Amino acid sequence: MNPEQRERYERERAHQVLPPASFPEPDPGRLRARRRHFLDEVDLQTQAAAPRRAPRPRRRTVLVLCAAVAAGATVAVLGLGSGNSLAPQRRPPASAASVQLLERAALAAAAKPQAPPRPEQFVYVKTVGHTSVLSEDEAGRMELLREDEGMEQWTAVDGSERTLRRKGGEDDLLPDTPGRGSLNSPTYTFLAALPTDPEALLKLIYEDAEKNHGAGSDSTTGPDQEAFVMIGDLLRNTVAPPATAAALYRTAALIPGVVVVTDAVDAAGRHGVAVARVHDGERTEWIFDRSTARLVGERTVLLKDNAWGEAGDVVTSVALISSGVVDRAGQPL
Protein backbone atom coordinates (compact mmCIF):
# COMPACT_ATOMS: atom_id res chain seq x y z
CA MET A 1 0.00 0.00 0.00
CA ASN A 2 1.59 3.30 -1.11
CA PRO A 3 1.45 6.46 1.08
CA GLU A 4 -1.53 7.96 -0.78
CA GLN A 5 -3.51 4.72 -0.48
CA ARG A 6 -2.59 4.50 3.21
CA GLU A 7 -3.73 8.09 3.80
CA ARG A 8 -7.04 7.42 2.04
CA TYR A 9 -7.55 4.23 4.07
CA GLU A 10 -6.87 6.02 7.36
CA ARG A 11 -9.30 8.83 6.54
CA GLU A 12 -12.03 6.35 5.54
CA ARG A 13 -11.44 4.51 8.80
CA ALA A 14 -11.71 7.75 10.76
CA HIS A 15 -15.04 8.55 9.08
CA GLN A 16 -16.34 5.11 10.10
CA VAL A 17 -15.24 5.60 13.71
CA LEU A 18 -16.37 9.19 14.19
CA PRO A 19 -19.65 10.95 13.46
CA PRO A 20 -19.58 13.82 10.96
CA ALA A 21 -17.84 16.86 12.42
CA SER A 22 -19.95 19.92 13.18
CA PHE A 23 -17.04 22.13 12.12
CA PRO A 24 -14.71 22.10 9.06
CA GLU A 25 -12.15 19.31 8.84
CA PRO A 26 -8.46 20.28 8.52
CA ASP A 27 -7.04 20.54 5.04
CA PRO A 28 -5.23 17.26 4.20
CA GLY A 29 -2.38 19.14 2.54
CA ARG A 30 -1.82 21.16 5.70
CA LEU A 31 -1.61 17.99 7.79
CA ARG A 32 0.82 16.31 5.38
CA ALA A 33 3.01 19.42 5.36
CA ARG A 34 3.04 19.50 9.15
CA ARG A 35 4.12 15.85 9.35
CA ARG A 36 6.83 16.41 6.72
CA HIS A 37 8.11 19.39 8.69
CA PHE A 38 8.31 17.33 11.87
CA LEU A 39 10.16 14.46 10.18
CA ASP A 40 12.65 16.93 8.70
CA GLU A 41 13.27 18.22 12.21
CA VAL A 42 13.84 14.64 13.39
CA ASP A 43 16.47 14.15 10.66
CA LEU A 44 18.31 17.28 11.79
CA GLN A 45 18.21 16.21 15.44
CA THR A 46 19.47 12.75 14.52
CA GLN A 47 22.49 14.21 12.75
CA ALA A 48 23.24 16.52 15.66
CA ALA A 49 22.92 13.71 18.20
CA ALA A 50 25.15 11.21 16.36
CA PRO A 51 28.21 11.54 18.69
CA ARG A 52 26.11 10.85 21.81
CA ARG A 53 26.62 7.75 23.91
CA ALA A 54 24.22 4.86 23.60
CA PRO A 55 21.07 5.16 25.70
CA ARG A 56 20.74 3.34 28.97
CA PRO A 57 18.62 0.19 29.12
CA ARG A 58 15.01 1.03 29.84
CA ARG A 59 13.60 0.46 33.29
CA ARG A 60 10.23 1.29 34.78
CA THR A 61 10.07 4.58 36.65
CA VAL A 62 8.29 4.18 39.98
CA LEU A 63 7.06 6.48 42.72
CA VAL A 64 7.72 5.47 46.33
CA LEU A 65 4.59 6.33 48.29
CA CYS A 66 5.92 5.63 51.76
CA ALA A 67 9.00 4.34 53.50
CA ALA A 68 7.23 1.16 54.56
CA VAL A 69 3.83 -0.42 54.57
CA ALA A 70 5.12 -2.60 57.38
CA ALA A 71 8.67 -3.20 58.55
CA GLY A 72 10.83 -3.57 55.47
CA ALA A 73 7.96 -3.13 52.98
CA THR A 74 7.87 -0.66 50.09
CA VAL A 75 5.24 0.37 47.55
CA ALA A 76 5.65 1.31 43.89
CA VAL A 77 2.96 2.85 41.69
CA LEU A 78 2.67 2.33 37.95
CA GLY A 79 2.88 5.74 36.30
CA LEU A 80 0.55 6.89 33.55
CA GLY A 81 3.35 6.66 31.00
CA SER A 82 6.54 4.69 30.42
CA GLY A 83 9.53 5.87 28.50
CA ASN A 84 11.85 5.21 25.62
CA SER A 85 15.34 6.31 24.63
CA LEU A 86 15.97 10.01 24.15
CA ALA A 87 18.12 9.28 21.09
CA PRO A 88 16.20 10.60 18.08
CA GLN A 89 15.37 8.02 15.44
CA ARG A 90 13.13 7.67 12.42
CA ARG A 91 9.61 6.94 13.64
CA PRO A 92 6.31 6.66 11.80
CA PRO A 93 4.22 9.85 12.04
CA ALA A 94 0.86 9.99 13.76
CA SER A 95 -1.80 8.16 11.74
CA ALA A 96 -4.20 10.16 9.59
CA ALA A 97 -7.14 8.99 11.73
CA SER A 98 -5.49 10.22 14.94
CA VAL A 99 -4.58 13.57 13.37
CA GLN A 100 -8.19 14.02 12.28
CA LEU A 101 -9.54 13.17 15.74
CA LEU A 102 -7.05 15.49 17.45
CA GLU A 103 -7.99 18.30 15.06
CA ARG A 104 -11.67 17.78 15.91
CA ALA A 105 -10.75 17.98 19.61
CA ALA A 106 -8.76 21.15 18.94
CA LEU A 107 -11.63 22.83 17.09
CA ALA A 108 -14.06 21.86 19.86
CA ALA A 109 -11.72 23.21 22.54
CA ALA A 110 -11.18 26.46 20.67
CA ALA A 111 -14.93 26.98 20.27
CA LYS A 112 -15.72 26.36 23.96
CA PRO A 113 -16.98 29.59 25.57
CA GLN A 114 -14.83 30.54 28.54
CA ALA A 115 -14.40 33.91 30.20
CA PRO A 116 -10.84 34.50 31.46
CA PRO A 117 -10.75 33.80 35.20
CA ARG A 118 -9.75 36.41 37.77
CA PRO A 119 -6.30 36.01 39.38
CA GLU A 120 -7.81 35.30 42.80
CA GLN A 121 -9.99 32.42 41.52
CA PHE A 122 -9.20 28.68 41.44
CA VAL A 123 -9.17 26.02 38.73
CA TYR A 124 -11.22 23.02 39.89
CA VAL A 125 -10.82 19.46 38.57
CA LYS A 126 -12.62 16.29 39.73
CA THR A 127 -11.55 12.82 38.60
CA VAL A 128 -12.28 9.20 39.49
CA GLY A 129 -10.20 6.15 38.74
CA HIS A 130 -7.49 3.76 39.85
CA THR A 131 -3.85 2.84 39.35
CA SER A 132 -2.03 -0.47 39.80
CA VAL A 133 0.32 -0.90 42.75
CA LEU A 134 3.01 -3.50 43.44
CA SER A 135 3.52 -3.95 47.19
CA GLU A 136 6.32 -5.94 48.83
CA ASP A 137 5.38 -7.49 52.18
CA GLU A 138 7.66 -8.43 55.10
CA ALA A 139 8.36 -11.82 53.54
CA GLY A 140 9.52 -10.21 50.29
CA ARG A 141 6.51 -11.36 48.29
CA MET A 142 5.10 -8.96 45.69
CA GLU A 143 1.36 -8.37 45.62
CA LEU A 144 -0.53 -6.51 42.90
CA LEU A 145 -3.04 -4.06 44.36
CA ARG A 146 -5.38 -1.41 43.01
CA GLU A 147 -5.22 2.09 44.48
CA ASP A 148 -8.02 4.65 44.23
CA GLU A 149 -7.06 7.69 42.16
CA GLY A 150 -10.28 9.65 42.62
CA MET A 151 -9.75 13.22 43.79
CA GLU A 152 -10.79 16.86 43.69
CA GLN A 153 -8.18 19.58 43.23
CA TRP A 154 -8.12 23.37 43.44
CA THR A 155 -5.20 25.33 41.93
CA ALA A 156 -4.87 29.10 42.24
CA VAL A 157 -5.21 30.78 38.84
CA ASP A 158 -2.14 32.97 39.45
CA GLY A 159 -0.24 30.42 41.56
CA SER A 160 -0.27 32.62 44.66
CA GLU A 161 -1.56 29.83 46.94
CA ARG A 162 -0.67 26.17 47.40
CA THR A 163 -2.82 23.62 45.60
CA LEU A 164 -5.55 21.96 47.68
CA ARG A 165 -6.22 18.28 46.97
CA ARG A 166 -9.13 16.31 48.44
CA LYS A 167 -8.67 12.55 48.29
CA GLY A 168 -10.44 9.87 50.29
CA GLY A 169 -12.30 12.53 52.26
CA GLU A 170 -9.10 14.20 53.44
CA ASP A 171 -7.75 17.62 52.42
CA ASP A 172 -4.04 18.25 51.84
CA LEU A 173 -2.08 21.27 50.67
CA LEU A 174 0.48 20.05 48.15
CA PRO A 175 4.02 21.12 49.08
CA ASP A 176 5.67 23.89 47.08
CA THR A 177 2.85 24.18 44.55
CA PRO A 178 2.14 25.73 42.24
CA GLY A 179 4.20 28.92 42.52
CA ARG A 180 5.12 30.42 39.16
CA GLY A 181 3.93 27.27 37.42
CA SER A 182 5.63 24.83 35.04
CA LEU A 183 4.77 22.13 32.51
CA ASN A 184 4.70 19.63 35.36
CA SER A 185 2.83 21.89 37.80
CA PRO A 186 0.85 24.34 35.67
CA THR A 187 -1.31 27.28 36.62
CA TYR A 188 -3.88 28.90 34.34
CA THR A 189 -1.60 31.95 34.08
CA PHE A 190 1.34 29.75 33.05
CA LEU A 191 -0.72 27.94 30.42
CA ALA A 192 -2.02 31.22 29.01
CA ALA A 193 1.58 32.30 28.35
CA LEU A 194 2.52 29.18 26.35
CA PRO A 195 2.95 29.50 22.57
CA THR A 196 -0.10 28.45 20.57
CA ASP A 197 1.89 27.47 17.48
CA PRO A 198 2.06 23.62 17.62
CA GLU A 199 5.66 23.38 16.38
CA ALA A 200 6.86 25.99 18.90
CA LEU A 201 4.93 24.33 21.71
CA LEU A 202 6.31 20.89 20.86
CA LYS A 203 9.86 22.29 20.84
CA LEU A 204 9.28 23.69 24.34
CA ILE A 205 7.92 20.36 25.60
CA TYR A 206 10.80 18.40 24.04
CA GLU A 207 13.33 20.78 25.61
CA ASP A 208 11.79 20.07 29.01
CA ALA A 209 11.98 16.32 28.32
CA GLU A 210 15.66 16.61 27.41
CA LYS A 211 16.45 18.66 30.54
CA ASN A 212 14.65 16.38 32.99
CA HIS A 213 14.81 13.00 31.25
CA GLY A 214 17.86 13.20 29.01
CA ALA A 215 21.31 11.64 28.99
CA GLY A 216 22.93 11.69 32.41
CA SER A 217 19.66 11.49 34.32
CA ASP A 218 18.22 8.39 35.97
CA SER A 219 15.08 8.70 33.85
CA THR A 220 14.49 6.49 30.83
CA THR A 221 11.45 8.39 29.53
CA GLY A 222 12.17 9.47 25.96
CA PRO A 223 10.91 12.60 24.15
CA ASP A 224 8.02 11.05 22.24
CA GLN A 225 6.43 9.20 25.16
CA GLU A 226 7.25 12.00 27.61
CA ALA A 227 5.63 14.57 25.32
CA PHE A 228 2.51 12.44 24.88
CA VAL A 229 2.14 11.81 28.62
CA MET A 230 2.86 15.44 29.54
CA ILE A 231 0.28 16.80 27.12
CA GLY A 232 -2.27 14.27 28.39
CA ASP A 233 -1.63 15.40 31.97
CA LEU A 234 -2.03 19.07 31.01
CA LEU A 235 -5.32 18.42 29.26
CA ARG A 236 -6.78 16.17 31.94
CA ASN A 237 -5.56 17.70 35.21
CA THR A 238 -6.19 21.40 34.67
CA VAL A 239 -8.20 23.98 32.76
CA ALA A 240 -6.39 25.79 29.94
CA PRO A 241 -7.40 28.82 27.86
CA PRO A 242 -9.27 27.61 24.73
CA ALA A 243 -6.43 28.61 22.39
CA THR A 244 -3.88 26.78 24.54
CA ALA A 245 -6.01 23.63 24.77
CA ALA A 246 -6.43 23.62 20.99
CA ALA A 247 -2.68 24.05 20.54
CA LEU A 248 -1.98 21.10 22.86
CA TYR A 249 -4.19 18.80 20.78
CA ARG A 250 -2.51 19.94 17.56
CA THR A 251 0.90 19.47 19.16
CA ALA A 252 0.02 15.88 20.04
CA ALA A 253 -0.71 15.29 16.34
CA LEU A 254 2.98 15.95 15.62
CA ILE A 255 4.21 13.17 17.91
CA PRO A 256 5.31 10.01 16.05
CA GLY A 257 3.46 6.77 16.70
CA VAL A 258 0.07 8.18 17.72
CA VAL A 259 -2.84 6.04 16.52
CA VAL A 260 -6.61 5.64 16.98
CA VAL A 261 -8.31 3.03 19.19
CA THR A 262 -11.88 2.62 17.98
CA ASP A 263 -13.43 1.73 21.35
CA ALA A 264 -12.15 2.56 24.84
CA VAL A 265 -13.88 2.79 28.22
CA ASP A 266 -12.98 5.33 30.90
CA ALA A 267 -13.04 4.79 34.67
CA ALA A 268 -16.65 6.03 34.81
CA GLY A 269 -17.77 3.34 32.33
CA ARG A 270 -18.20 5.71 29.39
CA HIS A 271 -17.35 4.36 25.94
CA GLY A 272 -15.52 6.56 23.48
CA VAL A 273 -12.88 6.69 20.77
CA ALA A 274 -9.24 7.21 21.74
CA VAL A 275 -5.92 8.43 20.44
CA ALA A 276 -3.13 6.29 21.82
CA ARG A 277 0.57 5.62 21.84
CA VAL A 278 2.21 2.23 22.42
CA HIS A 279 5.52 1.83 24.21
CA ASP A 280 7.13 -1.34 25.55
CA GLY A 281 3.94 -3.34 25.67
CA GLU A 282 1.77 -0.60 27.20
CA ARG A 283 -0.79 1.51 25.34
CA THR A 284 -1.62 4.94 26.77
CA GLU A 285 -5.05 6.11 25.57
CA TRP A 286 -6.80 9.49 25.70
CA ILE A 287 -10.53 8.82 25.49
CA PHE A 288 -12.92 11.23 23.73
CA ASP A 289 -16.68 11.50 23.56
CA ARG A 290 -17.64 10.37 20.05
CA SER A 291 -20.15 13.13 19.38
CA THR A 292 -18.42 16.16 20.93
CA ALA A 293 -14.70 15.20 20.69
CA ARG A 294 -14.43 16.24 24.36
CA LEU A 295 -11.73 14.53 26.44
CA VAL A 296 -13.40 12.32 29.07
CA GLY A 297 -10.56 10.17 30.41
CA GLU A 298 -7.29 8.32 30.05
CA ARG A 299 -6.14 4.76 30.63
CA THR A 300 -3.13 2.48 30.19
CA VAL A 301 -3.66 -1.03 28.80
CA LEU A 302 -1.12 -3.86 28.85
CA LEU A 303 -0.47 -5.44 25.46
CA LYS A 304 1.71 -8.21 26.88
CA ASP A 305 2.04 -10.02 30.19
CA ASN A 306 4.36 -8.52 32.80
CA ALA A 307 4.63 -8.03 36.57
CA TRP A 308 1.76 -5.55 36.48
CA GLY A 309 -0.77 -7.95 34.93
CA GLU A 310 -1.77 -9.86 31.85
CA ALA A 311 -2.29 -8.65 28.30
CA GLY A 312 -5.56 -6.75 28.11
CA ASP A 313 -5.51 -5.57 31.75
CA VAL A 314 -6.24 -1.90 32.37
CA VAL A 315 -3.55 -0.95 34.87
CA THR A 316 -4.37 2.75 35.10
CA SER A 317 -7.69 4.44 34.39
CA VAL A 318 -8.84 7.99 35.15
CA ALA A 319 -12.11 9.66 34.17
CA LEU A 320 -12.57 13.44 34.10
CA ILE A 321 -15.87 14.13 35.86
CA SER A 322 -15.92 17.93 35.91
CA SER A 323 -13.63 20.93 35.60
CA GLY A 324 -13.96 24.69 35.65
CA VAL A 325 -13.25 27.83 37.66
CA VAL A 326 -14.54 28.55 41.19
CA ASP A 327 -14.13 31.44 43.63
CA ARG A 328 -12.41 29.63 46.49
CA ALA A 329 -10.47 26.47 47.33
CA GLY A 330 -12.71 23.71 48.59
CA GLN A 331 -15.72 24.92 46.59
CA PRO A 332 -17.15 22.27 44.21
CA LEU A 333 -18.25 23.22 40.72
Within 8 A by CB and 6+ apart from 50, the residues are: none
Q: Regarding beta strands 151-156 and 164-167, do their DSSP bridges make them parallel or antiparallel, or are they unpaired?
A: antiparallel
Whole-angstrom Cα distance, residue 232 to residue 297?
9
**Tell me, what's the pLDDT at 133?**
85
Burial tier of 16 (Cβ tally within 10 Å: 0-12, 13-18, 19+): exposed
Within 8 A by CB and 6+ apart from 305, the residues are: 311
Would the pLDDT of 206 be above 60?
yes
Would the pLDDT of 11 be above 80?
no
* 177-203: pLDDT as tens digits: 888 899 999 999 999 999 999 999 999
Burial tier of 103 (Cβ tally within 10 Å: 0-12, 13-18, 19+): buried
Nearest to 127 by CA among 272, 42, 238, 286: 238
State the pLDDT confidence band at 89, using cuts at 50, 70 and 90.
Answer: low
Residue 192's identity, in one-letter code, is A
Whole-angstrom Cα distance, residue 235 to residue 169?
25
* 147-185: pLDDT as tens digits: 999 999 999 999 999 999 999 999 999 998 888 899 999
Whole-angstrom Cα distance, residue 98 to residue 130?
26
Distances (CA, A) of 302 to 37, 135, 278: 32, 19, 9
**Tell me, what's the pLDDT at 139?**
75
Average pLDDT score over the chain? 80
Burial tier of 211 (Cβ tally within 10 Å: 0-12, 13-18, 19+): exposed
Span between the terminal Cα atoms of the chain, in Å: 50
Distances (CA, A) of 89 to 175, 198, 231, 251, 283: 38, 21, 21, 19, 20
Contact 212, 227 (CB under 8 A): no
Tell which wins on pLDDT, 31 or 77.
Answer: 31
